[in-house]
Amino acid sequence: MRFETPLIPAVLIRRYKRFLADCRLQDGREVTAHCANPGSMMGLAEPGMKIWLEPNDDPKKKLKYGWRLVEHDGGHFTGVDTSVPNRALRAALEAGEIPELAAYKTVRPEVKYGEKSRIDFLLSQDGLPDCYVEVKSVTLSRQPGLAEFPDSVTARGTKHLGELANMVAQGHRAVMLYLVQRTDCSRFQLAADIDPAYSDAFASAHAAGVERLVYGTLITPAGVELGTAFQSD
């Protein structure tokens, strides 16, 4: 998935009201960018961080910049836009690039299911059970090389795990897919200390037959692509 407009570097001044970020461009101008991330962004929203913005000239948008990346030491990046994983994964699913799911040829995004929920992807193929795929963006890292989810309490995520388990009980296949939007990590685990209820819900769902997949990403200011499968601690 390539960004629609070339990204430009900036420095973060502050993030506030969850969806707003004041930034300083290289020419010294201060602008406000949209932050497409409702999470805590722990460790990713410190003033002075180098970030990358996507400009736009859409008259329907109040803000003319969108915050897409954080740049770390060593040329590593974290993708902070939570809409990116679904866009990148849809292309990967349709191209059969995820071996565990490559047998499915029909990919339908945002299908209603459960109790007033939408599954990120519903996969189908003659002769196979339908496969419900829920996707979570992983951006938290508190130890070198280790990615964690979630970065804050997520009642919605806990609800989704229960609904995935219900799909398995009905004879379908269900997959919880964690997409790590960091290039400085190679391992993954659940952050049970941050949200014990989510960790417990995952254990119950996994015992009920919900599968877990963890994939990394290849991130540059040009775009985001699916990376390799991760180790899971």
Judge whether 96 lies within some domain. yes
Which amino acid makes up residue 154?
T
Q: Are β-strands 145-149 and 140-143 bridged in parallel, bridged antiparallel, or unpaired? A: antiparallel
Question: Can you spell out the DSSP letters for 129-177?
Answer: --EEEEEEEE-EEEETEEEEE-SS--HHHHHHHHHHHHHHHTT-EEEEE
CATH number at residue 109: 3.40.1350.60
Residue 232: its pLDDT value, please? 64
Q: Which of 48, 79, 110 is the last residue of a domain?
A: 79
| pLDDT classification of 39: cutoffs 50, 70, 90 | confident
Over residues 57-79, mean pLDDT: 94
- Indicate whether 208 pLDDT > 90: yes
Average pLDDT over residues 190-217: 98
One domain for residues 215 and 176: yes
Which amino acid type is present at position 89?
Answer: L
Q: Which domain holds residue 218?
A: 84-232
Beta-carbon contacts of 159 under 8 Å, excluding residues fewer than 6 positions away, are 115, 117
What's the mean pLDDT in 200-228? 96
Please report, for the domain that includes residue 33, its CATH number: 2.40.50.580
Average pLDDT over residues 199-208: 98
Confidence of residue 32 (pLDDT cuts 50, 70, 90): very high
pLDDT class of 58 with cuts at 50, 70, 90: confident
pLDDT digits (tens, 9 = 90+) for 111-152: 999 888 899 999 999 999 999 999 999 999 999 999 999 999
Do 90 and 204 fall into the same domain?
yes
